[in-house]
Amino acid sequence: MTPGTRAPGIRHFASDRGGNVSPLYALVLMVLIALAGIGFDYGRLMAMQSELQNAADQAALAAATQLDGHEDAMIRARAAATAAFATAGSDFANITQVANDEAGRTVSGLTFTFYESYADDAPGPQVTSDADGALARVVEVGVNGRKVFYALTPVIGAFNSGGVTAKAMAMLKKAACNVPAIMVCVDRSDFPLPADAGKGLRMRWKSSKDVTPLAPGNWGFLDISGVKDTQYELGENTAPSCINLENLTTEPGFRNTEPEALNTRFDMPTSKLQCQGNGDFCPSENTRKNYAIAFSGTVLSAKQTLTLADVRAALSCPATVPSGKSTWVPFSSIGVIDRTASDSFTLDSCFYSGTCSYLGDGSWDINRYLAGHHPGVSASTFPKGTRYEIYQWEIASKAARLAPELVGFNPDGRPQKSGANYRHAITYHCSYPQPQFSQPWMPSDTQKDRRVLTVGAARCEGISGRKEVELLGWMDVFLVDPSEPAEPGTIRAEVIGPALRPDNLSGFQYYGRDRAVLIR
């Protein structure tokens, strides 16, 4: 071998580059293992986060169902959320399949924060005392932190996920169900209370020419998206099932057809509004009102000037109204009228003295009404002394208590001498407390009495035009009398109380159906 030269085997080994990538594999292998570990453990982390979030969502929804404005709402909300988790080991317990810390699999440890409201994507203010539970409208529920101990990620120095938590916020949102879209402005957030039962309610429409804001006692319609305005809602007997009340607005503009629609409940149909098979525009069983039907008659009397007693002695109200007779005459147009017997139900006395605005005090002239229509019946017969109580009492014996009454007459002013007497051609007027032009629509487990109207109580002071309105709840009111020509936009009623279902069961979750919804 020549000095300075290498043996062939050594030269081959030195020039061989076939294993150059092996060091690269050794270097990259740790990175690949780390990436695989991160992907695997990240998937476990996300799965646990999803499980915890689902548990928080469920707890928040359960808690929100109890935020009904009562004092113990926060206490019941915590109990409902805890119950939604069930107990450890239960088939219904909330568990996380991937958390493997010392707490095991069962999700536990809830935290609660309550707020008064939620607006502009932010809650507030916070309600901290259970004594103020009636103020709580929003709840945030947190689930205690859990850990995932990594399987592969420790290669890069991380051994667990740390405390992973989840939060959810929920509240009740309202939907209108089974009611007409009518509201009245009130000035109390607790209206109506049971103590308001029997109080007169004077609801007045605000003219579109009146630029002043809405005030307590103003009534109007709610503009509910998706519901077509019929122009005759006050006479309808049916209503949409359930409609979301989010972003609910008032509906400006008075509909001239609505008073006529309302009066069909008092057996006052029009050519367009006739009683329908579904109850729309049908009368109640008891339709006593300050309207009468006119008839032509002749009375012989020794006196040239007649009195109502003379007419009563000579004439009586026909038991059956002649076919085709459909014109009701307001008492105000009758010349000679017996005022002691002609009045229908009146509002509270304070309305006539001017000391009440829109809500009365329940004191009305019950004795005058009974003396005029039911002589000898004492006010003590009626424990509550309300108009609605008497109304129902009259219906209980319609033949005896709701008979036709002769209430007045209009003399022609030109009596003719007829022998020793005078012949008087007159128009006399009869009041009919029972329907004459349509069969009454009978209340049932699915339909209310036609003199009972369900109305939303709203906080709407200071707004005008088409603006959002806060609906507090629903109440039943008894219609005292028809809409009068002098005040076509006024509805006179008596508060019965919080709205009940037609079967007289609680209206909770029937009219204002509260739905728990997640808001974040």
pLDDT digits (tens, 9 = 90+) for 213-271: 888 999 988 776 555 567 888 998 865 555 555 556 777 677 788 999 999 999 999 98
Q: What is the pLDDT of residues 30-54, one digit of tens each?
A: 666 655 555 555 556 676 677 778 8
User: Does residue 158 belong to any structural domain of this protein?
Assistant: yes
Question: What's the chain's length in residues?
Answer: 520
Contacts with 85 (C-beta within 8 Å, 6 or more apart), sequence order: 55, 58, 59, 93, 94, 107, 108, 110
Residues 260 and 303 in one domain: yes
Q: How many domains does the chain have?
A: 2
Question: How many C-alpha atoms does 25 have within 13 Å on its Cβ side?
Answer: 4
**Tokens representing 293?**
């039907």
Q: Are residues 195 and 225 in the same domain?
A: yes
Q: Are residues 156 and 197 in the same domain?
A: no
How confident is the model over 126-160, as pLDDT tens digits?
A: 999 999 988 998 999 988 766 665 554 544 444 44
DSSP code at position 322: P
Indicate the residue among 130, 147, 176 that finishes a domain: 176
Instruction: Clarify whether residues 50 and 110 are in a common domain.
Output: yes
For residues 301 and 443, membership in a common domain is answered with: yes
Looking at the fold, whether 197 and 91 belong to one and the same domain comes out as: no
Residues 151, 197 within the same domain: no
Strand runs (DSSP E) across 98-180, as ranges?
Answer: 110-115, 118-119, 122-123, 126-127, 138-146, 164-177
Asked whether residue 6 is assigned to any structural domain, the reply reads no
Decide which of 134, 149, 176 is a domain's last residue. 176
Do residue 310 and residue 431 come from a single domain?
yes
Question: Within this chain, do residues 418 and 283 fall inside the same structural domain, yes or no?
Answer: yes
Residue 473 is encoded by which pair of tokens?
A: 């709840």
Residue 288: left if φ>0, alpha if ψ -120 to 50, beta else—which one?
Answer: beta
Which domain, by its residues, includes 337?
A: 182-498
Looking at the structure, tell me whether residues 41 and 186 fall in a common domain.
Answer: no
Residue 513 lies in a domain: no
pLDDT in tens, the chain (520 residues): 555 555 555 655 555 555 556 666 666 666 666 555 555 555 566 766 777 788 788 888 888 888 888 889 999 999 888 877 655 444 445 555 544 444 455 566 788 999 988 877 788 899 999 999 889 989 999 887 666 655 545 444 444 445 567 788 988 776 555 556 788 999 988 888 889 999 999 999 887 677 788 889 999 887 765 555 678 889 988 655 555 555 567 776 777 889 999 999 999 999 899 999 989 999 999 999 999 999 999 999 999 999 999 999 999 999 888 776 668 899 989 999 988 777 889 999 999 999 999 999 999 999 999 999 999 999 999 999 999 999 999 999 999 999 999 999 998 888 999 888 999 999 999 999 999 999 999 998 878 899 999 888 888 877 777 777 777 878 899 999 999 888 888 999 999 998 776 655 544 445 555 677 788 7
216: preceding bond cis by omega (within 30 degrees): no
Q: Are residues 144 and 277 in the same domain?
A: no
Answer whether residue 9 is part of any domain.
no
Q: Is 192 exposed, middle or buried (0-12, 13-18, 19+ CB in 10 A)?
A: buried
In a domain, 118, yes or no: yes
**Which residues have CB under 8 Å from 29's CB, separation 6+?**
none
Residue 172 CB neighbour total at 10 angstroms: 19
Closest residue by Cα to residue 484 from 358, 270, 348, 330? 330
Same domain, 213 and 164: no
Contact 127, 74 (CB under 8 A): yes
Q: Is residue 190 situated within a structural domain?
A: yes
